[in-house]
């Protein structure tokens, strides 16, 4: 049976954790599903791990559509979520709808959009027209030049307040999930408790409804310095399948992330 947004809502009602990993092809779609991963994210991280770029900004709509089709062809169980790449939704809600509809036609079940209150109108426009949205706040890699690098977000009282306001506004606009990246664990906990929708953390502590990491990172395949929030699940096993299963078990049992992986 396919995991749906209703499934995930039931998880948080029952206080059960769920898992997400990036996925870019049909082969890994099946491997991840068989290991119990609930959400397959076609992330614009493919710019880093597949294209070898230093940012996600070169990823195109056609890149996302192609990899979404690949993952969809190999998937039968998980919820498929696809990033909207840089430049494909910021111009207007109408632009976002045109491009998001192409991503859903390729096999995605929900799209992920970076940005806080500035994306509330777009989120409402899409959700009112049948396109589910996962909002993304905190460190937003598509704004890396504006942010001045890959830095902790929400550390000051003012910026923390802004993130809380963004989260509430995006939920009100219709977002079905909220991803928080590289924010203090205590702040992520407060936001999670303030919302009725699931939260997904990456470098946001253990109290989020779910965790997501880049597949290559949990397999120890990082080309640069390992981010603080990453754990190599290949340690102690020679099997990719077992490493992914260990990640799922660690998240669902509350063992990952621990204090060394949070801010």
Does the pLDDT of residue 148 top 90, yes or no?
Answer: no
Q: Which residues contact 166 (CB under 8 A, 6 or more apart)?
A: 116, 117, 137
Q: What is the pLDDT of residues 80-117, one digit of tens each?
A: 999 999 999 999 999 999 999 999 999 999 999 999 99
The whole-angstrom distance between residue 206's C-alpha and the CA centroid of its chain comes to: 15
How far apart (Å, rounded) are the C-alpha atoms in residues 262 and 166? 21
Query: Is the pLDDT assigned to residue 187 strictly greater than 80?
Result: yes
The domains found in the chain, sorted by start residue, are 5-261 (3.20.20.60)
CA distances (Å), 39 to each of 13, 55, 80, 164, in order? Answer: 18, 23, 6, 25
3-state secondary structure of 189: helix
The secondary structure of residue 142, as a DSSP letter, is G
CA distance linking residue 157 with residue 6, whole number of Å: 34
DSSP 6-22: HHHHHHHHTT--EEEEE
Task: Tell me how far apart the alpha carbons of residues 200 and 179 are, in angstroms, rounded to a whole number.
Answer: 5
- Tell me, yes or no, if 262 is annotated catalytic: no
pLDDT of res. 197: 98
In tens, the pLDDT along 200-248 reads 999 999 999 999 999 999 999 977 788 899 999 999 999 999 999 999 9
Position 149 scores a pLDDT of 87
Q: What is the mean pLDDT of residues 15-19?
A: 97
Range scoring the smallest mean pLDDT among 12-16, 125-129, 131-135, 147-151: 147-151
Phi, psi of 252 (to 5 degrees): -70, -25
Catalytic one of 114, 171, 181, 262: 181
pLDDT tens column, 109-146:
999 999 999 999 999 999 999 999 999 999 999 999 99
- Percent of the chain past pLDDT 70, that is, above it, reads 100
Least confident of 14-18, 146-150, 246-250: 146-150
For 261, residues 6+ apart whose C-beta sits below 8 A from its C-beta are 203, 228, 229, 230, 231
């Amino acid at each position: 049976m396919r995991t749906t947004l209703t499934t995930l809502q039931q998880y948080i009602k029952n206080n059960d954790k769920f898992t997400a990993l990036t996925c870019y092809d049909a082969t890994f779609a099946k491997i991840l599903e068989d290991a119990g991963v609930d959400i397959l994210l076609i992330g614009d991280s493919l710019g880093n791990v597949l294209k070898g770029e230093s940012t996600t900004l070169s990823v195109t709509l056609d890149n996302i559509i192609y990899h979404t089709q690949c993952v969809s062809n190999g998937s039968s169980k998980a919820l498929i979520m696809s990033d909207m790449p840089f430049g494909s939704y910021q111009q207007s809600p109408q632009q976002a709808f045109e491009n998001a509809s192409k991503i859903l036609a390729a096999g995605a079940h929900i799209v992920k959009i970076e940005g806080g209150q500035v994306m509330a109108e777009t989120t409402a426009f899409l959700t009112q027209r049948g396109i589910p949205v996962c909002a993304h706040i905190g460190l937003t890699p598509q704004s890396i030049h504006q942010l001045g690098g890959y830095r902790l977000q929400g550390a000051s009282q003012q910026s923390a307040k802004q993130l809380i306001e963004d989260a509430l506004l995006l939920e009100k606009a219709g977002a079905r999930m909220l991803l928080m990246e590289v924010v203090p664990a205590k702040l992520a906990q407060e936001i999670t408790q303030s919302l009725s929708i699931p939260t997904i953390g990456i470098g946001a502590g253990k109290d989020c409804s779910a965790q997501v990491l880049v597949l290559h990172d949990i397999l120890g395949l990082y080309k640069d310095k390992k981010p603080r929030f990453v754990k190599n699940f290949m340690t102690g096993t020679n099997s990719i399948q077992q490493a992914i299963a260990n990640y799922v078990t660690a998240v669902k049992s509350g063992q990952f992330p621990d204090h060394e992986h949070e801010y």
